[in-house]
Chain A
Amino acid sequence: MSANVAAAAKAAPSADTPAISVKDMRKCFGDHEVLKGISLEAHKGDVISILGSSGSGKSTMLRCINLLETPDSGEVRVDGELIKMKQIRDGHQAPADIRQVERIRANLAMVFQSFNLWSHMTVLENLVAAPTHVLKRPRAECLEQAEALLKRVGIWERRNYYPPHMSGGQQQRAAIARALAMNPKVMLFDEPTSALDPELVGEVLRVMRSLAEEGRTMLVVTHEMGFARDVSSKVMFLHKGEVDSVGEPKEMFARPPTPQFKQFIANFNK
């Protein structure tokens, strides 16, 4: 019996295996505990908006999922596969198998607040670099896909531009196209519109909305209440390193389940 259970646990991910599952994640920076035991499950097609005031740990949580930050404890599973960690000194841990981490990262494309496009490469080169060098796909095929993606996000005309020559909105759309070029299972957005001028936010949100509509799995750390309410399938509100409330967006915004969340959205509506 127990052997069967073990075999089942090792089997290929079934339909209801969460694309991402985080259990009891903790993280300290020095004496400051940023994450105090966060759990999260994202199923295929989920678009989860992660809200919270600054310092609530939302970006850190996202960065702990693809190990840009190393969580102190807790477990992260991607498509059921546990990211193996090993204990190092005084309660900290480190990835046990960097190859595994790299393989998983390739499935979790990330979009950053400050775009982080590679400045010495053209837009097209930015889109082709990781698929050819990480996924080892043929260059011609990657170029073709890159051009299609750039058309989709509306900056094909700028394919031979260098990132510093484009507006913030164009850079962020290029960064989203770069993430899409990896054919990722899950996309992680770390405040994708926070560094943009207000009039450029719309063009990026439109791209993100179209991604949500085609059923992509997305974790979006954001301050865009409209996106959280209208586009995402789930809203998660972090407060002081803990999950304060999780729920269906319309419901959450109509009837805030906690005083903290009520206070939070009240500040936004001012």
Chain B
Amino acid sequence: MDFDFYLSTMWSVLKALPLTLEIWFFGIAFGLVIATGLTWLRASGHKLGEYFTRAYVFIFRGSPLLVQLYLIYFGLSQFDFVRHSPILWPILRDPMYCTIVAMALNTAAYESEIFRGALRAVPVGQIEAAKAFGMPAFTRFRLVTLPIALRLALPAYSTEIILMTKATALASVVTIMEMMGTAQKIQHDTFRPIEVLTCAGVIYLLLNLSIARLFAWVEYRLSPHLRPPPEQSQQIKPVPEVL
């Protein structure tokens, strides 16, 4: 084994990690904003909103992210009004922005479905209790519905974030030299696919491992009520008779 080659490749690919993280971060950040809007639209009960979100999810969940990315990067620039638009063109001529837009639109479809399911799974009785104690709709949502729904959504959401980490590799097909792009360039230069792709694969693995650990930690912190009580092993004073 050529350790020097592994080390130098590792280092070169790692230097592209910040760019990967940039795509990843902005992709999921904008995705979350769009997903929140979609979820709100879907939950608001307006027929039009529901049709729109259904169509949105159908399109963006049903077609490959790669197709969406190509359509946004190569496809949209075919239209004159896009090229002449002072707002659209600065975004759509830049492969970096195009990747972020494609990722955000795509992940929003999945996330809105995750959030919709989580909202529906909040126990009705607990919402009713909030109603019965006179909480206005917003207070009810903030204190009861949202905290419970977020905890329910977290496991599926973390999976989606990990899928998005891997999806950043698609940026390499629109000329971005993030980790995958860098790895491919080294591979073309050296004709040593095994070593180079192993390096890239290991970095993606470690990255996803840390993301998964982070989410597991957040989940653990947020759900003490789903674990056995911490004091279980200790002696608990007997509950006194009432009055």
Interface residues of A (CB under 8 A from B): 66, 68, 98-99, 102-110, 112, 114, 116-120, 129-130, 133-134, 152-155, 157-158, 161-165, 170, 173, 178, 182, 188, 203, 206-207, 210
Contacts and interface: CB of A to CB of B under 8 A. Distances in A.
7 contacts: A68-B131, A68-B132, A102-B136, A110-B132, A120-B223, A157-B239, A164-B225
Contacts of B229: 161-162, 165
Interface string B134-176: 1110010001100110010000000000000000000000000
Contacts of B144: 118
Given A112-B129, A155-B239, 8 more contacts: A109-B132, A117-B126, A130-B130, A130-B135, A152-B243, A162-B229, A165-B225, A165-B229
Contacts of A129: 133, 143
A114 B236 contact: no
B242 interface: yes
A153 B132 contact: no
A203 B151 contact: no
B49 to A, nearest CB: 21
A117 B133 CA distance: 12
B129 A117 contact: yes
Nearest to B222: A120
Contacts of A104: 134
Which interface residue of A129, A163, A188 has the most chain B CB atoms within 10 A?
A129
Interface string B217-232: 0000011111011000
Interface in B89-131: 123, 125-126, 128-131
Contacts of A116: 123, 125-126, 128-129
B134 A206 contact: no
Given A120-B148, A153-B242, A155-B239, A106 B126 contact: no
B173 to A, nearest CB: 43
B134 A210 contact: no
Which interface residue of B126, B135, B139, B237 has the most chain A CB atoms within 10 A?
B126
A66 B130 CA distance: 12
Contacts of A117: 126, 129
Nearest to B134: A106
Interface residues of B, number: 32
B62 interface: no
B240 interface: yes
Contact of A112 (B128, B147, B223, B225): B128
B25 to A, nearest CB: 28
Contact of B242 (A102, A105, A203): A203
Nearest to B148: A120
Contact of A102 (B123, B135, B143, B240): B135
Nearest to A119: B225
B2 interface: no
B4 interface: no
B133 A134 contact: yes
Pairs A-B, 4 closest by C-beta atoms: A106-B134, A162-B225, A116-B129, A130-B133
Which interface residue of A118, A170, A210 has the most chain B CB atoms within 10 A?
A118
Contacts of A152: 242-243
B242 A106 contact: no
Contacts of A118: 126, 129-130, 143-144, 148
Contact of B128 (A68, A157, A161, A178): A68
A183 to B, nearest CB: 12
Contacts of B151: 120
B242 A206 contact: yes
